């Protein structure tokens, strides 16, 4: 009986440290994973990129996925942002330096599911251009181009 009681106490003594170790490993892994979750891509100097939207990108919560790109814009810039894809219904969002939506476009004026937006920049800074599929329309290849328009 003494051996059985000792084994029960030993079992309890081992459960608590192993539980704490498991929790510690889980928390440490979560912290490492969270630092890798959001990693927007800087657009190259040409402000143009050919890329692929995948199921490993940012979940939108609507069944689709998004990919973010950083672009440096100056106060007074008039910009055109063009997103074309034969794989999904393209949607563009321009986010300000504080994360607020400045402009958004689903379908361009050409009647396709490509996206095109025009806007004037009010403050110099690094902006986020978000590429995503409208709703649950999918993933695939796309081309993104940010152009500064010349004044007339």
What is the tally of helices (H) and strands (E) in the chain? 1, 10
Q: How far apart, in Å, are the Cα atoms of 148 and each of 71, 77, 97, 119? A: 11, 6, 18, 10
Within this chain, do residues 82 and 119 fall inside the same structural domain, yes or no?
A: yes
Same-domain status, 96 and 25:
no
28 and 76 co-located in one domain: no
The parent domain of residue 109 ranges over 41-149
pLDDT for res 111: 79
Number of domains in the chain: 2
Same domain, 11 and 82: no
- Using pLDDT thresholds of 50, 70 and 90, give the confidence band for residue 72: very high
Shared-domain flag, residues 46 and 17: no
Query: Which 8-state DSSP code applies to residue 27?
Result: H
Q: Do 114 and 137 have their domain in common? A: yes
Give which of 72, 73, 152, 82 is closest to 120, Cα–Cα.
73
Nearest CA to 123 out of 77, 57, 65 is that of 77
Structure pTM? 0.73
- Alpha carbons 125 and 141: distance in angstroms, whole number: 28
pLDDT at position 12 over 50: yes
Give phi and psi for 52, each to the nearest 5: -135, 130
Tell me: do 31 and 61 sit in the same domain.
no
Helix residue ranges per DSSP H, the chain: 2-37
Q: Clarify whether residues 59 and 130 are in a common domain.
A: yes
> Quick one: residue 91, left, alpha or beta (phi over 0 = left, psi -120 to 50 = alpha)?
beta
pLDDT in tens, 24-51: 555 555 555 555 567 899 999 999 999 9
């Amino acid at each position: 009986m003494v051996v059985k009681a000792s084994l029960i106490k030993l079992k309890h003594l081992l459960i608590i440290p192993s539980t704490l170790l498991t929790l510690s490993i889980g928390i440490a892994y979560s912290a490492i994973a969270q630092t890798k979750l959001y990693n927007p891509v800087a657009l190259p100097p040409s402000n143009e990129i050919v890329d692929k939207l995948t199921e490993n990108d940012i979940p939108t919560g609507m069944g689709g996925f998004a990919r973010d790109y950083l672009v440096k814009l100056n106060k007074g810039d008039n910009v055109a942002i063009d997103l074309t894809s034969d794989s999904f219904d393209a949607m563009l969002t321009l986010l300000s330096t504080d994360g607020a939506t400045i402009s958004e476009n689903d379908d361009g004026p050409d009647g396709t599911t490509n996206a095109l937006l025009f806007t004037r920049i009010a403050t110099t800074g690094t902006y986020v251009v978000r590429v995503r599929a409208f709703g649950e329309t999918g993933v695939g290849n796309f081309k993104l181009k940010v152009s500064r328009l010349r004044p007339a």
